[in-house]
Amino acid sequence: MRVLSVRAGFEEKDIESARVILAATIHHPSRTVMVIRRVGPQITRFADKAATRSDPFPWREIVWVTDQRIFLPGEELRLFGGHNSACAVVLDLLNEPAAWLDPGAQLFDIEDAFLGAEGR
């Protein structure tokens, strides 16, 4: 899992480099990608569960965007749409949103989201 953050005093540099990493991850031609957004205890627990369902599979990748400024203008809306409570989106191989997950999602829900995106 890649964690993308912005440090105080390095905002411009960190946002720029994080955007490059996020774009490269999303546009990888043979990976199913999960994008996690926001921070907090519930999100951390979710990220740990998501890593459990991603790490054993080399074609699955997770990128955790801890600062919303990292998203390009309109990118967060494109990925999450009207799913305001969702902390994660799983993208299919065409980089299109396939499933959204709330922080309370369980391992089964996360695995089901990955499998659904991989089967599209």
pLDDT at 51 over 90: yes
Mean pLDDT, rounded, for 112-119: 96
Percent of the chain whose predicted confidence (pLDDT) is above 70: 100
Q: CA 61, 118, 116, 18 torsion: positive or negative?
A: positive
Question: Over the stretch 52-107, which tens digit does the pLDDT of each residue have?
Answer: 999 999 999 999 999 999 999 999 999 999 999 999 999 999 999 999 999 999 99
Percent of the chain whose predicted confidence (pLDDT) is above 90: 98
> In this predicted structure, what is the pLDDT of residue 120?
76
User: Strand, coil or helix: what is 106?
Assistant: coil
Nearest to 67 by CA among 9, 13, 14, 1: 14
CATH of the domain at 97: 3.40.30.10
**In which domain, by residue range, is 28 found?**
2-118
Both tokens of 87, joined, read 């902390």
Domain count, the chain: 1
Q: Do 61 and 114 form a contact (C-beta atoms < 8 A)?
A: no
